[in-house]
Amino acid sequence: MNDVQMSRRRLIASATAAGFAIAGAGTYFGRSGSNPAFAQDEVAADATPVALGPAIPDEFNVETNWPYENLDLSATRSARGSTISTSTISTLGDAWNFPISAGAAFGSLTANPTVVDGVVFVQDAAANIYALKADTGETVWANMYNDVVPSGGPNGTANAYGMVFSTIGGVGDVIALKSDTGEEIWRTNIQGPLREGITTAPLVYNSIVYVSTIPGHSEGFYAGGQRGLIHALDAASGTVIWYLDTTTDNLWGNPTVNSGGGFWHPPSVDEEGKIYVGIGNAAPYPGAEGFPFASSRPGDNDYANNILKIDPSTAVMDWHVNINPADPFDLDNQLTPVLAEVDGRKVVFTSGKHGYVVCLDRSTGELVWRTPVGTHKNDDRRDFPDPNEVIEVWPGTLGGVETPMAYDATNNLIIAPVYELASWYNGTEFDPDHPFDFTIATGLVVALNATDGSVAWRTQTATGPLAGLTIINDVVLSGGLDGVVFAYNIADGSEVWKYQLPVGINAPIAVSGDWVFLPGGGPLIPTAATNPTLPAGGPGLFALNLGGTVQATWTAGEAATPEASPESAASPEAGGTGEAMALNAVDIAFQPNTMTIPAGQDVTINFTNMGQLPHNFHVDELGVASSDLESGASEVLTINAAAGTYQYYCSIPGHKDAGMVGTLTVQ
């Protein structure tokens, strides 16, 4: 697999170490389209779920619970039972924090925490699950799986019927645990035949667990033939009741090159028990050797980038709508659909990396309205006469609407977080002359009138709001990799509160009553909005409550510098005889990213990882490679090279794609 084709679903990618057990494909009962990849395809379905309780698990009926990723079965992310509002949020302050350092390729935390009956459940980016008392942070239990999760997440937990459901995605396991002890009740492996793993948090409804495989595993994504399958499992036993292929039988005409499908965020459920889910993309993107610009997969590429409405009793779709057909640019419809009743009409809002918010009639799938958010440029291109053309595409591969939206029934608003960063492509890969530069990413929060999709307000953010959106009464919360968590007045988008984490935030926020749980585990990439005086601390779960210790606010200005910032952003032209050169890794770049050294003599390089993520230093042509350095670690390297120009890069999966490259000139 070409590593530039790796998915960049969030600011996460497939992770570092290999070496976990490779499990066999799961046992499949039943129904789906006939899929030549699966030998057991024609096995009859006779598994009937055992009722564990009411269709809507009791956990959903407690206002101060946050039982699954997007809060309620309509996925509104609009918290109930809280007194946090524009008039009280100034007293929201620190209560406790729980350090979580998973050492995954793109940070420790990518999942939305869940909260049930005064206990917070959080899964880190290595699949470990912690149960913490919500008021003290005291550990109730912790299950350490230390898996290398495909794409590092999003991951997450779902609480239902007194249990916690989750996944260990690298090995393809779905697990059910006792809520109070963490004791495992069952474990089912659904890994696909090409090691397709799991990246989603589950949905649990009507005694059934919904999860999906995705076209990749912990070492890479989008090998030819990999496809994502939705699975429905009996919540009592873990038995697979059905699965549904989200691609077509011949994988859009070329199963040796193409791959795609699967869901990354759990489904939502309507009053009739029908399931709504957004599906990931088609690959390869933008193309593959010999197949530039998606020419290996002519046609619409269903069900990539679709929203599906599924009858779970038959595993048959009531309807499906392809939101971004024949997509060459990784612009998925990956988010959980949001359900609402607007002016008496039952509708569903769907969105994703394509950067459109789309409103459909729930009974028919008919389009009600469709509104672009953020910058759009060349994303609708489908004609590519020159296979070597370099194209700037907005939204880029990180979105668009990368992270969850939220719906406010009171003000009739569907609100979208928008990540603003282009991707540059040639026919087969990201253009090497335009690597990712997260320091120039910006963002928007856009509130749309749910009736007609018109813009009610839009507010620019200093970086992309990767924390998604969470509504509490009349405020909407988000945050990003600059570590700034902010609250906007839902009436007009004006900022009413902000808070500085010591790390970036790359996971959605949970609320329980007057408590807010911030999963702060992303790399810190400061912007002009970042507090120049960062609070001490590292990645973890940060609990704030009304009446907690209020953080001093600050005036935005010059871009802040991370505490661990290199003093030696040093001397790219240094490197004479006997003089050691300083090279630093930061998140996610080298400083400097150009170095010049003399030819034919030993040059010593002091390589230090100043970032929070693991990094390394590789020059393939010279056979030079550091070990993987944890945050704060250093290694001395010696290079003796002939004159020439060499590329150096970090080989942690995803980091090179993220722009972690430099040029070494030897003269």
Residues at the interface with Cu ion (CB under 5 A): 615, 650, 652, 655, 660
Amino acid at 275: I
- Rounded to a whole number of angstroms, the minimum distance from the CB of residue 144 to Cu ion is 24
CB nearer to Cu ion: pick between 315 and 652: 652
Distance CA 226, CA 283 (A): 9
- Rounded to a whole number of angstroms, the minimum distance from the CB of residue 635 to Cu ion is 14
CB nearer to Cu ion: pick between 352 and 653: 653
- Rounded to a whole number of angstroms, the minimum distance from the CB of residue 18 to Cu ion is 16
Q: What is the 3-state secondary structure (H, E, C) of 508-549?
A: CCEEECCEEEEEECECCCCCCCCCCCCCCCCCEEEEEEECCE
Q: Collapsing DSSP states into helix, strand and coil, what is residue 190? A: coil
Tokens of 481: 């990799």
- Rounded to a whole number of angstroms, the minimum distance from the CB of residue 611 to Cu ion is 8
- Rounded to a whole number of angstroms, the minimum distance from the CB of residue 305 to Cu ion is 30
Tokens of 225: 């033939």
CB nearer to Cu ion: pick between 516 and 660: 660
CB nearer to Cu ion: pick between 429 and 657: 657
Q: Whose CA is closest to 480, among 499, 497, 493?
A: 499
Q: How many beta carbons lie within 10 A of that of residue 593, not counting itself?
A: 15
Q: Whose CA is closest to 511, among 74, 82, 137, 68?
A: 82
- Rounded to a whole number of angstroms, the minimum distance from the CB of residue 295 to Cu ion is 32
CB nearer to Cu ion: pick between 37 and 652: 652
For Cu ion, the nearest residue by Cβ is 650
CB nearer to Cu ion: pick between 227 and 615: 615
- Rounded to a whole number of angstroms, the minimum distance from the CB of residue 628 to Cu ion is 8
Token match 């928007």: residue? 444
Q: Whose CA is closest to 618, among 582, 590, 579, 596?
A: 590
- Rounded to a whole number of angstroms, the minimum distance from the CB of residue 567 to Cu ion is 20
Cα separation values, 253 from 194, 259, 306, Å: 18, 11, 18
Provide the phi-psi class of 632: left if phi over 0, else alpha when psi is between -120 and 50, else beta.
left
Beta-carbon contacts of residue 662 (< 8 Å; ≥ 6 apart): 590, 592, 593, 594, 595, 647, 648, 649
- Rounded to a whole number of angstroms, the minimum distance from the CB of residue 629 to Cu ion is 9
CB nearer to Cu ion: pick between 98 and 436: 436
CB nearer to Cu ion: pick between 456 and 658: 658
Q: Which residues on adjacent β-strands are paired with residue 361? A: 347
Distance CA 132, CA 182 (A): 11
CB nearer to Cu ion: pick between 98 and 590: 590
Q: How many beta carbons lie within 10 A of that of residue 602, not counting itself?
A: 12
CB nearer to Cu ion: pick between 176 and 652: 652
Q: For strand 455-461 and strand 92-99, is the pairing parallel, antiparallel, or unpaired? A: unpaired
Beta-carbon contacts of residue 634 (< 8 Å; ≥ 6 apart): 606, 607, 608, 609
> Strands of 618-619's sheet, edge to edge?
594-597, 661-666, 644-649, 618-619, 624-625
CB nearer to Cu ion: pick between 476 and 583: 583
Cα separation values, 388 from 22, 86, 367, Å: 38, 52, 36
For residues 501, 505, 507 and 510, what is the CA-based torsion angle, rounded to 10 degrees? 20
- Rounded to a whole number of angstroms, the minimum distance from the CB of residue 125 to Cu ion is 15
Distance CA 578, CA 607 (A): 16
- Rounded to a whole number of angstroms, the minimum distance from the CB of residue 456 to Cu ion is 40
Within 13 Å and on the Cβ side, how many CA atoms surround 389? 14
CB nearer to Cu ion: pick between 237 and 651: 651
Distance CA 454, CA 450 (A): 8
CB nearer to Cu ion: pick between 103 and 202: 103
Q: Collapsing DSSP states into helix, strand and coil, what is residue 590? A: strand
**Where do the H-state alpha helices sit in 98-142?**
none
For residues 49, 57, 113 and 354, what is the CA-based torsion angle, rounded to 10 degrees? 70
- Rounded to a whole number of angstroms, the minimum distance from the CB of residue 250 to Cu ion is 38
- Rounded to a whole number of angstroms, the minimum distance from the CB of residue 104 to Cu ion is 12
- Rounded to a whole number of angstroms, the minimum distance from the CB of residue 615 to Cu ion is 3
CB nearer to Cu ion: pick between 294 and 652: 652
Tokens of 153: 């997440």
CB nearer to Cu ion: pick between 327 and 628: 628
- Rounded to a whole number of angstroms, the minimum distance from the CB of residue 618 to Cu ion is 10
Count H helices and E strands in the chain, helices first.
0, 48
- Phi, psi of 497, deg, nearest 5: -165, 150
Q: Note the Cα 340 to chain centre separation in Å.
A: 24
- Rounded to a whole number of angstroms, the minimum distance from the CB of residue 650 to Cu ion is 3
Residue 20 and residue 147 in contact, taking contact as beta carbons nearer than 8 Å: yes
Distance CA 90, CA 84 (A): 9
Q: How many beta carbons lie within 10 A of that of residue 43, not counting itself?
A: 13
Token match 């869940």: residue? 114
CB nearer to Cu ion: pick between 15 and 277: 15
- Rounded to a whole number of angstroms, the minimum distance from the CB of residue 356 to Cu ion is 33
CB nearer to Cu ion: pick between 205 and 648: 648
Q: Whose CA is closest to 243, among 74, 22, 34?
A: 34
